[in-house]
Amino acid sequence: MCRTCVAIAGADYCVIAADTRMSTGYSILTRDYSKIIQLADKSVMASSGFQADVRALQKVLAARHLIYQHQHNKQMSCPAMAQLLSNTLYYKRFFPYYAFNVLGGLDSEGKGCVFTYDAVGSYERVGYSAQGSGSTLITPFLDNQLKSPSPLLLPAKDAVTPLSESEAIDLVKTCFASATERDIYTGDKLEILVLNASGIRREYMELRKD
């Protein structure tokens, strides 16, 4: 099982992060397993849940993206990938992929976007999201720091955070350092992917190994 992932959308960037611990029951299987996959130029998915299902889902989406590229001669946009992920998950509605996903990236206007999913494909575009065992610890903290305007307000206000890229990265590091303290399944190492107009960047941070 893979355990915690987070994504935060900014005005012109997106931060996607997940820890690298893989565990089963009370055992740690490996301290260095990546749960994040770059599906397209501007789409990155992080998934927690049952590892074998997560990997199968990643492969299905990667294959479908390859076919899309052959047919359309372009990369899939993040909103398009979001819909594809939803459909792929619902396709197995009666024998689900036990995977809890966040999809992050840049939309067609270059703005950061985050989509959050349940195991059977229900999804929503949000400004930030956390999934997995650490999500219960992280989400309230992100709510406090990144409080989104209510979706009921008119005119509609952006959910993306006004924070700068480095501030968002620091926030993510804080989230995981805190989640690691109290969630036994989160720890070892944090992998952070930052997606912006100039491309994609990877960063790592050590976490507690206990």
Partner 1 sequence: MNVADSAPAMNNLIGSDADSQRTLYPYVTGTSVVGIKYKDGILLAADMGDYLACHDSGSYGSTLRYKTVERMKSVGKHSIIGASGEISDFQEIMRYLDELILYDNMWDDGNSFGPKEVHNYLTRVMYNRRNKFNPLWNSLVLGGVKNGQKYLGTVNMIGVHYEDNHVATGFGNHLSRPILRDEWHENLTFEEGVKLLEKCMRVLLYRDRSAVNKLQIAKITEEGVTISQPYSLKTFWNFAAFQNPTVGAEGSW
Stretch that binds partner 1, among 22-30, 99-107, 122-130, 195-203 (CB under 8 A): 22-30
Candidates 27, 71, 144, 198; binder of partner 1 (CB under 8 A) is: 27
- The whole-angstrom separation of Cα 69 and Cα 184 is 41
CB of 15 to partner 1, least distance (A): 25
Q: Which of 44, 57, 51 has the alpha carbon at shortest distance from 16? A: 44
Confirm or reject binding of residue 29 to partner 1 (CB under 8 A).
Answer: yes
* Cβ neighbours around 163 below 10 Å, total: 18
- The whole-angstrom separation of Cα 98 and Cα 76 is 24
Stretch that binds partner 1, among 28-36, 120-128, 159-167, 195-203 (CB under 8 A): 28-36
Residue 120 or 177 having the CB closest to partner 1: 120
Confirm or reject binding of residue 184 to partner 1 (CB under 8 A).
Answer: no
Residue 57 or 106 having the CB closest to partner 1: 57
Confirm or reject binding of residue 30 to partner 1 (CB under 8 A).
Answer: yes
- The whole-angstrom separation of Cα 78 and Cα 129 is 16
66-125: contacts with partner 1 (CB under 8 A): 91-95
DSSP secondary structure code for residue 2 in this structure: B
CB of 59 to partner 1, least distance (A): 9
* Beta bridge mates, 23: 28
What number of residues does the chain have? 210
The identity of residue 1, as a single letter, is M
- The whole-angstrom separation of Cα 39 and Cα 47 is 12
- Count residues binding partner 1 (CB under 8 A): 18
Confirm or reject binding of residue 143 to partner 1 (CB under 8 A).
Answer: no
32-71: contacts with partner 1 (CB under 8 A): 32-33, 50-52, 55-56
The order of strands in the sheet holding 4-9 is 128-132, 4-9, 13-19, 189-196, 199-206
Instruction: By CB under 8 A, name the binding residues for partner 1.
Output: 22, 24, 27-30, 32-33, 50-52, 55-56, 91-95
